[in-house]
Amino acid sequence: MNIEMPEDLELDYVHIEQGPFFIDTPFGRGGPFKIFTIQAEAETKRIISCRMHNWHSGVERGRCSQQTFWVFQQARVKRMLAEGGVGAVNYMLRPRDLVIPHDYIDFSLRKDIALGDGYLLIMREALCPEIRKTILEQTEKEWPKRVFDIGVYANTEGRHFESIAEINYIKMAGADYVGQSICPEVYLAREIGACYAGLYLVVNYAEGVVKPWQHHELAEIFHNDSPAFGRIIIEILKALPKERNCGCNELRKPTLLAKAYIKEENH
């Protein structure tokens, strides 16, 4: 989004508590982060946020994600809401549609990004159904264009966009849209026991789909739709139920590999 969140929205029930600030982590200096509060009907919700998963120049993206999620782990974050832009692979999608993926395919090379090795991560239902339900309820009320709550997000490495041949391959794999910001974050969220889901704005057609995308059209969406998109993000955070009833945390189990190795050594 081309705005400062949440300041530029000027919502009287949202208040900045702290930030921007940086935190030293075992993976390097992470940040900047912000802490703000949202006054909901029955409670005040405290949010820690960062821009674009805290990718920043000169640091590998996987390392940035480790820095960010280590901070989230220390803050005992239990729910995460991601946002971003994607390219349409499914020809039925159009720019300015909002999509809420229910699954993903990881085509990136960052397969070993983790905070530790203590857990077996079950990715059966990687994107929290409870958060996704709240996202759908809020977007259907607020967003003037179409909203889709079923779809597969294909994650690629970047920073370049994909080739036509790559998009054809991604399409055959069963993906509906493509982007670069759901992995490794979806793994790291499960590792720290947090629910994770995302809301994404279709900003262009992927290469070879419908018609060639135009940079000026992407820039127009990026600049003009950010305030409305940002307000929806705040409303989703405000509407999330206080208690988790999704079972996401049950999909993280103690690893079996370390125990097997120790047993073999003892034998």
Nearest to 148 by CA among 190, 107, 94, 184: 94
Sorted by sequence, the CB contacts under 8 Å of residue 126 that are 6+ apart come out as 103, 104, 186, 190, 196
Task: Quote the tokens at residue 205.
Answer: 């057609």
Most confident of 34-38, 110-114, 180-184: 34-38
* 30 φ/ψ angles, rounded to the nearest 5 degrees: -100, 150
Strand, coil or helix: 39: strand
Contact indicator for 3, 230 with CB cutoff of 8 Å: yes
Q: What is the pLDDT of residue 41?
A: 81
Closest-CA residue to 233 (of 84, 31, 64, 53):
84
Indicate whether 29 pLDDT > 70.
Answer: yes
The residue behind tokens 């993906």 is 175
Q: Quick check: 60 and 157 in contact, CB under 8 A?
A: no
Mean pLDDT, the chain, rounded, equals 90
CA atoms within 13 A on the CB side of 11: 22
For the stretch 120-136, pLDDT in tens is 999 999 999 999 999 99
Identify the CATH number of the domain defined by range 78-266.
3.40.50.1580
Q: What are phi and psi of 35, to 5 degrees?
A: -120, 130
Domains of the chain, by residue range, sit at 78-266
Give this prediction's pTM.
0.90
40 pLDDT more than 80: yes
Report the percent of the chain where pLDDT is more than 90. Answer: 68
Q: What is the pLDDT of residues 185-225, one digit of tens each?
A: 999 999 999 999 999 999 999 999 988 878 878 788 877 88
Measured from the Cβ of residue 102, the count of other Cβ atoms closer than 10 Å reads: 18
Length of the chain counted residue by residue? 267
- Residue 152's closest CA among 205, 199, 103? 103
Beta partners for 257?
A: none
Q: Averaged over 88-116, what is the pLDDT?
A: 92
- Residue 86 Cα distances to 24, 132, 137, 190, 199, angstroms: 31, 17, 21, 22, 10
| Spatial distance between the Cα atoms of 139 and 118, rounded to a whole number of angstroms | 37
Residue 148 pLDDT = 97
C-alpha closest to that of 221 among 89, 95, 101: 95
User: Is the pLDDT score of 88 beyond 90?
Assistant: yes
